[in-house]
Each structure stands twice: as structure tokens, then as C-alpha cells.
Structure 1
Amino acid sequence: MLGYGFEPEVGDPLQLVVEGAGRGFGARLHATPPGGPPASPRTVYRHVTHAIRHAPEGGITYEAFCATADCGAESGPHAEQEAAQDWALRHTGRIGHDLFRRVVTDHAKATRAE
């Protein structure tokens, strides 16, 4: 449901409503209700430049996954890179598997570039 109490059919006129006041920015698709006002033929676009950067408050996690077929072993998330690497070295020593996939995850924050 799009909020007008009906589902649009193929060929129904649609109107894109862009909301951007304050902190958030989003776009919603609204159907013009039957018998309602027609969608505006004029559209105004506002292009705003944003930048994305590492967010230190989110932290960074390190993980290692055994890439040997049918193994599925993993280190789990760690705050320190050495912990994930130590797990991989122990896994190699115990099991003999020597191929790993390493994943580093950080958090990023998008802000308006002004």
C-alpha cells in the first residue's frame, strides 16, 4: 500500500516525492489516487555533494575465514588484527589449511560537503 488506500495498477500516474529537510534525505514513490490531482509536470532536482569518511566511534573489526573447501572455520570478529591472524596461524598448525580470507570492517559516516 502506498498510503492512499489502493494499489497502483500498470499505467497509473506516479509522483516521486523527495524529502530532504534536516538530517535525512529520502525519496518516496506516491501514486496519484483515482480522481485525485494529477502529478506535477514540473520536477525540481537539488544536487547536494556529500563526503564519506571513516567514523572512529564505530571501530574496526578484523576477521579471518578458512578458504579451504568444506571447512567453514572462522576466527570471529576481533578488535585487533593480530588476534585474527593468530587464529589463522593456529588453524594452519592444527588442521594444515593454509588459505584464508581476511575481512576488515569499518564504519563510515556520510556528511554534506559544504
Structure 2
Amino acid sequence: MARAVLRFVEHRITRHPDADVTFEAECLRCDWQATPSPDGAAVDLECMSHTGRSGHNGFRRICTSFALVTRVGDDGDLSSLNEGVCPSSGVDEGSQRE
């Protein structure tokens, strides 16, 4: 009977260094949308301008970013995450016994 050895590794999540944050907004009363931008203040100004023109004061604000998960102590290279793992079963090959 094969046994699995469980191993707990500490990870951290950070913003992906090669991707920007994108800010967006849309009016809750009509179909108006702000132009997506990496500058949140620019999107906020568009919302305030829309309020001045329409009287609509409710907006859904969206902030999109991409994340990168790495093992604590690694240099950020994720290729080592699959070392020693059997691709078909996900079981650590070092823990399989005959």
C-alpha cells in the first residue's frame, strides 16, 4: 500500500512584477463607464465629472491586478514547484513505496 508524505511549505502572494494595476468604474444608474486606466485618480475624476453632468452619484469601482505566488525563501522561480511530483497522480514520488 502506497503512503503519501504531506509537506507544508510557506508561501507568499505579491503583485506580479510584469503587470500593472488597472482601475475601472461604471455608473450604477446608467450604462456609463470610465476609461480603464492605471491611474486611479483619473478614473475618480471621470466619475465626479459624470456626477456633475448626470446627477448620478453611485459607481462600481474595479481594481484589477495580477498576483504571483512564491515559496518563502525562493527567488521567485516557480519551475521548482513541480519537482518530484508525479504528473499523473500529484503524489510526491519520494513518498511512494512498493
Q: Same fold (TM over 0.5)?
A: yes
In structure 1, C-alpha distance between the alignment counterparts of 2:17 and 2:35, rounded to whole Å = 21
Q: How does 1:42-53 map to 2 (within 5 A)?
A: 42-53=3-14
Answering whether residue 47 of structure 2 is matched by residue 88 of structure 1, we say: yes
In structure 2, C-alpha distance between the alignment counterparts of 1:80 and 1:102, rounded to whole Å = 13
Q: Which has the larger radius of gyration?
A: 1
The alignment's C-alpha RMSD in Å is 1.7
Q: Which runs of 5+ in 1 are unaligned?
A: 1-39
The sequence identity of aligned pairs, in percent, is 37
Q: SS state of the match for residue 56, structure 1?
A: coil
Runs of 4+ in 1 over 2 A off after TM superposition: none
Q: Aligned letter for 1:106?
A: S
Of Structure 1 and Structure 2, which has the larger fraction of its residues in strand? Answer: 1
Report how many aligned residue pairs link the two structures: 73
Answering whether residue 22 of structure 2 is matched by residue 61 of structure 1, we say: yes
Q: Aligned letter for 2:39?
A: E
Answering whether residue 67 of structure 2 is matched by residue 108 of structure 1, we say: yes
Q: TM-score, normalised by structure 1?
A: 0.55
Higher relative contact order structure (alpha carbons within 8 Å, sequence separation ≥ 6): 2
